[in-house]
Amino acid sequence: MNMHFPTKLSFILLLMLNVAFAQSCTTVVFSDEGSLIFPLALLSAFLVALIYMLSQAVHKPEWENWCKKAGMQILVSLILISLVNLAILAGCAVSDQLVGQDMFQVSINYLNDLAYSKGFPLVYMLTDASIQNQLEAVNFKFTTNPLTGGGGLAKNAGEKTKANAQDSVINMLMPLIASLYAQGLVLKVIQTVIVPIFLPLAFVMRIFPQTRTVADYLIAICLGLALILPLTYVLNIKIAESILPASIITPEAALDPDLRLLDVASLIPQAIFLPNLTIVVTVSFIMSFSKLLVRGFEPEGLYYAS
């Protein structure tokens, strides 16, 4: 039986805590947003050490065994923190290499550019053109007395058909813009809450056997949303750059200056097709990584036998 287990554990935690904060200017999970992880781990270690000392005082072997298991899980959690940090740093390096920016920020800027720089201006232009065309379509010149049921000539009657086509394009544009806006909003929420809140919570939950499996799933979800999801958007940007909008629609429709279908087509990949690919990749990673965590960090073998 190792009587100095809590002391060694506390020393290791304090050492890693100092290293983490010393590197906070260059890391992601150990930055200000993730700085709650190690204080919470240190607090958990203190509680474990306190329970261990109580077990020695009141001679409770079951408490002592629990403390050994919980202490080892704290160490495992710290190792996982380091691995998650390295994984996110690797993702940031890939993003910087491909697009030269942070993967969350470049993804949000890309979606905002599509929605606000392309989508909404198209809606405003088409709406204005549609109203003008409808006004021109009602321009009717009577050639006989209208009081006696006379007839006349609508010189711009064809403008009504053009206005209907523009209204159809507007109706198609609005769901595309809504999709782009929703994607940007989801990325902002993930960037705000995943690393600062849910990731520290998941690592603390790993200490307790009753919540360890849930914590492993939560860690997988956090890593999938904080790394894989924004990284797929970086790849989507590169994919979208290689897709010519003219290849989505016919050349005749693309050249129509009244409908601007070429500009509309440039929104379709990121609004419809690429998000589905992102969801599939992210969900597949979360499912696979959660199974790895649950099966690879079973309690047996992770602590010393008494």
Query: What is the per-residue pLDDT across 280-289, written as a single tens digit (0 to 9) for each?
Result: 999 999 999 9
Q: Of 37-41, 102-106, 299-303, where does mean pLDDT reach its minimum? A: 299-303
Whether 78 and 41 have beta carbons less than 8 Å apart is answered as: yes
H helix or E strand, kind and range, residue 268: helix 268-268
Whether the per-residue pLDDT at 300 is higher than 60: the answer is: no
What's the pLDDT score for residue 146?
64
- Mean pLDDT, the chain, rounded, equals 76
> Is the pLDDT at 7 greater than 60, yes or no?
no
Contacts for 173 with CB less than 8 Å, ≥ 6 apart? 119, 122, 123, 126, 264, 267
pLDDT for the residue numbered 133: 83
Q: Which of 292, 171, 178, 277 is nearest to 234 (CA)?
A: 277
**pLDDT recorded at residue 221:** 92
Query: Averaging pLDDT over each range in 23-32, 157-166, 230-239, 296-305, which range is the top one?
Result: 230-239
Position 28 confidence tier, pLDDT thresholds 50, 70, 90: very low
Residues 239-269: tens digit of each pLDDT: 877 765 555 566 666 667 778 888 888 888 8
Residues in the chain, overall count:
306
Three-state DSSP at 1 gives coil
pLDDT at 48: 76
- Residues 295-306, mean pLDDT to the nearest whole number: 49
DSSP state of 302: S
Dihedral of the alpha carbons of 293, 299, 300, 302, in degrees to the nearest 10: 80
Is residue 150 predicted with pLDDT exceeding 50?
yes
- Residue 30 confidence (pLDDT) above 50: no
The pLDDT of residue 165 is above 80: yes
pLDDT at 23 over 60: no
Cβ neighbourhood burial of 56 (10 Å; 0-12, 13-18, 19+)? middle
Question: Would you call 152 helix, strand, or coil by DSSP?
Answer: strand
For 69-90, the pLDDT digits (tens) are: 777 777 777 777 778 878 888 8
**pLDDT confidence tier of residue 159, bands split at 50, 70 and 90:** confident
Least confident of 94-108, 180-194, 237-251: 237-251
Q: Specify the pLDDT at position 13.
A: 46
**Torsion over CA of 98, 100, 105 and 108, rounded to 10 degrees?**
-50
- State which amino acid sits at residue 126: L
Domain edges within the chain = 5-91, 103-296
What share of the chain in percent tops pLDDT 90? 21
Q: What is the pTM of this model?
A: 0.71
Instruction: State the Cα–Cα distance between residues 244 and 240, nearest whole angstrom.
Output: 8
Q: What is the 3-state secondary structure (H, E, C) of 71-136?
A: HHHHHHHHHHHHHHHHHHHHHHHHHHHHHCCCHHHHHHHHHHHHHHHHHHHHHHHHHHHHHHHHHH
Tokens 């080892």 found at? 72
Residue 306 has pLDDT above 80, yes or no: no
Confidence band for 9, pLDDT divided at 50, 70 and 90: very low
